[in-house]
Amino acid sequence: MERKNVSSIDYLLLIPGVGFILLFIGSSIFITITQSFGVLSVTGKSQFTIENWKAIFHDKESLDSILFSLKIGLLSSVGTLLFAFPIALFLRKGGAGKRFLASLIKIPLFIPALVAAFLIINLISYHGIVNEALLALGIIKKPLRMLNDKFGWGVIVIQVWKNLPFVLLILSSSLASIRDDTIDAARNLGAGTFSVLFRIYVPLAMPGILVSMILMFIKAFGDFAIMSVAGPTYPPSIALRMRNTATLFQEWDKAAVLGVIIILTTLFITWLYSRLAEFVTGRK
């Protein structure tokens, strides 16, 4: 196939998209990094220093917030994948109720995160529907604390429910690209259900799994709306900690440090997921 040369006009067509990324997103990241070192400070005092970084890493509350958000991001991404992958397989094969199930799962896509948090609160609060049902059935003797719990199970449940359709769309596209004759050939050669699942479906769908887990982690790790409603009183999420540091304590440079930590953590998790995908698929 003959390869076409890229003209200057083709590059000009990229300016609206690439220019937006470089100008707004790139400049925001640059300013956040410089402010974390005391340069271009919002307060007007501009002096290079690493004291802001030292203060954050010597602050137990900030470290607890980072670890808590990291835990929520990882568990939410894994939990969403565990729920979405079987559903994606079912929707790929088809069956009774496929269209109804697909429509039902898409509902959270049209609900804002803050509204979704309040909806789940009615279910898992101390006197919510779930606790009242368990009490009526005699399964528990007193209500369970599932909301604002210290571990963050309530936040994880909301994250999984809210982002399940988003992850499902990515996984469904990856599974749809797997040819049926590949599955039939494996079964003809004696492959069982688990062999087909872990040696064909999972490796071939790994790009979609990787992308969905990375995007899910980014959404959950830096989430503000759900954490502010259903999260524990302590530790707050890194996003809440960043907001409080900037607006309540007026320590904008320290808040910029937390912003850089969010960016670096996201990049590291992305790299880690890619290495894991290469290990699972056997690529180097």
For residue 4, being part of any structural domain is answered with no
DSSP letter, residue 236: P
Angle at 274 between CA 271 and CA 278, to 5 degrees: 140
For residue 168, being part of any structural domain is answered with yes
For residue 20, being part of any structural domain is answered with no
With a cut of 50, which residues of the chain have pLDDT below it?
1-2, 284
Q: Are 12 and 2 in contact (CB under 8 A)?
A: no
Q: Helices (DSSP H) in the chain: which residue ranges?
A: 8-13, 15-20, 26-36, 51-57, 60-93, 98-105, 113-124, 129-136, 153-176, 180-188, 193-196, 202-204, 206-221, 225-230, 238-243, 252-281
Domain count for the chain, please give it.
1
CA dihedral 221→168→79→235, nearest 10 degrees, is: 20
Q: Could you check whether the bond before residue 235 is cis, i.e. omega within 30 degrees of 0?
A: yes
From its phi and psi, is residue 186 left (phi > 0), alpha (psi between -120 and 50) or beta?
Answer: alpha
Predicted confidence at residue 65, as pLDDT, reads 92
Give pairs for 142-147: CB < 8 Å, separation 24+: 147/121, 147/230
Domain that holds residue 274: 59-281
**Its pTM surpasses 0.85:** no
Q: What is the pLDDT of residues 206-215, one digit of tens each?
A: 888 888 888 8
For residue 79, being part of any structural domain is answered with yes
For residue 15, being part of any structural domain is answered with no
For residue 181, being part of any structural domain is answered with yes
DSSP letter, residue 141: S
For residue 163, being part of any structural domain is answered with yes
Predicted confidence at residue 26, as pLDDT, reads 84
For residue 270, being part of any structural domain is answered with yes
Residue whose pair of structure tokens reads 């979405």 in the numeric block: 84
Predicted confidence at residue 1, as pLDDT, reads 45
CATH number at residue 63: 1.10.3720.10
Q: Are 171 and 153 in contact (CB under 8 A)?
A: no
